[in-house]
Each structure stands twice: as C-alpha cells, then as structure tokens.
Amino acid sequence: MAKVADGEVRDQEAVREVLRDLEARPAGQKLTWDELIGFIRRLPKMPEGWTSADDIRELRGPLPEDVEDID
C-alpha cells in the first residue's frame, strides 16, 4: 500500500516489489511472523500525522465526530 502525500504516490516501486515477492510465493504457503514483519518493513512509511481515520474520511466522507451538532 502506498499512501498519497501531496498528490504523489510515495515509493510505489517498493510496493510493487513487495507485491511481486508475495505473489511469487507458493500458493497456500503461510508466512511466518518474521517474514510478515520483513515485508511490512519494506513498505514506505506513512506520512507524518497520518491516521486510519484520514483514509476513512477520504473513502466514505466525514466521521460522526466531524459533523457539528446543530440544535
């Protein structure tokens, strides 16, 4: 996964390499914990201040706490 930062995908080639390596594994072969962590470490870091809520807002719109309570 690459996060879009300032309109550009960060380090997309690193993501492609990880995906190629994962797809090259034999079907049904489980990853060990160490292998999983190794793949995660190869992925680009998320932008400073990023949260999963940012992705939810981007995909689905504002979260309930984003809407002002008008009474």
Q: Which is it for the CA torsion 11, 53, 37, 39, positive or negative? A: negative
Q: Using the predicted structure, report yes or no on whether residue 10 has a pLDDT greater than 80.
A: no
More confident residue, 39 or 61: 39
Residue 8 predicted with pLDDT over 70: no
Domain boundaries, the chain: 11-62
Q: Report yes or no: 46 and 54 within 8 Å, Cβ to Cβ.
A: no
Q: Which residue in 47, 42, 40 sits closest to 7, CA to CA?
A: 47
What sign does the CA torsion over 34, 36, 37, 38 have? positive
Task: Provide the token pair at 29.
Answer: 């072969």
The rounded percent of the chain whose pLDDT value lies above 70 is 80
From residue 8, how far is each of 12, 20, 63, 68 by CA, in Å? 9, 22, 25, 31
